[in-house]
Amino acid sequence: MTGCIYRAVGLGVASLVLVAGCAAPSARLAGVSFKNIDLQSLTVLFDVELTNPNSAPLPLVDLDYELSSRGNSFFTGQAPLQGDVPAQSTRTISLPAQITYSQILTALADVKPGAVLPYKADLGLSIRVPVIGKLRLSIHKEGKLPVPAAPGIELLDIKWDKLTLNSAGGVFKIRVTNHNQFPIEMARMTYGLTLGKMEIANSSLASPVSLDPNGGAGIVEIPISFSPRKFGLAALGMLSGDSGYRLDGEISVKTPYGPMSLPFDRSGNIRLHR
């Protein structure tokens, strides 16, 4: 008979007695990363590295996981695994786990949007070992994950440089405020600006602006140009004085946890002037 002979005493890898010079398989967390981060959820990607030092392959069974913060569990799950770890080889298994922020906010009442949450991950990777059957290898990791908040958007000013029936041009100025406990860097903003019932701007802007955490703010000036004529003769009069507005869109930002897309939608009243 070739291969290893296993005899289990108690529970866990440390309690295995390996006969005939065999070595115990091992698992470690090679990395944790975040993907698909928005205001509803994020995906945590666990990269688990499993080493099989023996002369026979080890079939994979499943991976279970639990995330907690300050002793309070907020996310658990289990995922079946396929394939095996070849003999005398190492295999890395990537497990994506999607976490919705509603799960966190329900389980942890003191956590608010914009927070950076300390977490502990307890993972168990199970393999099938000859003779003893299913064997669970425990892995532990501590880290931090973001619970992002929408940026604050304020339309400060609209100033016309040119205002005729055929052509209107000027600049609108907005303040962007970071309500998160981590810094963000604006990379691109997609926006739509409506005055009254007239959509006068709908475009995107590459505008790198770095915003400090906890209320850091920056000013963005955006040029606009359109023809009032297409809205009718009454449009020219609506572009002077007070007007209701709606400003909506999405900001693409870089963060210490990866890229995020943060939508915004703001309405109010603004004084238009030259």
pLDDT band at 242 (very low <50, low <70, confident <90, very high): confident
Report the b/e string of 141-166 with b at 16+ CB within 10 A.
beeebbbbbebebebebbebeebeee
DSSP letter (8 states) at residue 150: P
In this model, does residue 43 exceed pLDDT 80? yes
How many percent of the chain have pLDDT more than 70?
91
User: Is residue 11 over pLDDT 80?
Assistant: no
- Residue 46 carries which side chain, given as an amino acid letter? F
Confidence bin at 1 (pLDDT 50/70/90) = very low
The more confident residue out of 21 and 96 is 96
**Average per-residue pLDDT in the chain?**
87
Q: Which two tokens stand for residue 20?
A: 């005939």
Instruction: Tell me how far apart the alpha carbons of residues 75 and 87 are, in angstroms, rounded to a whole number.
Output: 34
Q: Please enumerate in sequence order all residues whose Cβ is within 8 A of that of 132, keeping only pairs 6 or more positions apart, or say none.
A: 6, 7, 8, 16
The verdict on pTM exceeding 0.75 is: yes
Structural domains in the chain, CATH included, are: 5-147 (2.60.40.1820), 152-273 (2.60.40.1820)
As a whole number of angstroms, the distance between CA 18 and CA 3 comes to 11
- What pLDDT does 8 receive? 42
Q: What is the band of 232 on the pLDDT scale with cuts at 50, 70, 90?
A: confident
E strand or H helix at 102, and its extent?
Answer: helix 101-107
70-122 pLDDT, tens digit each: 899 999 999 899 999 999 999 998 888 899 999 999 999 999 999 999 999 99
Least confident of 140-149, 181-190, 198-207: 198-207
H/E stretch holding 107: helix 101-107
Q: Residue 217 above 70 pLDDT?
A: yes
Question: Model confidence at 13, in pLDDT bands (50, 70, 90)?
Answer: very low
CB 23 within 8 A of CB 6: no
Tokens of 251: 């900001």
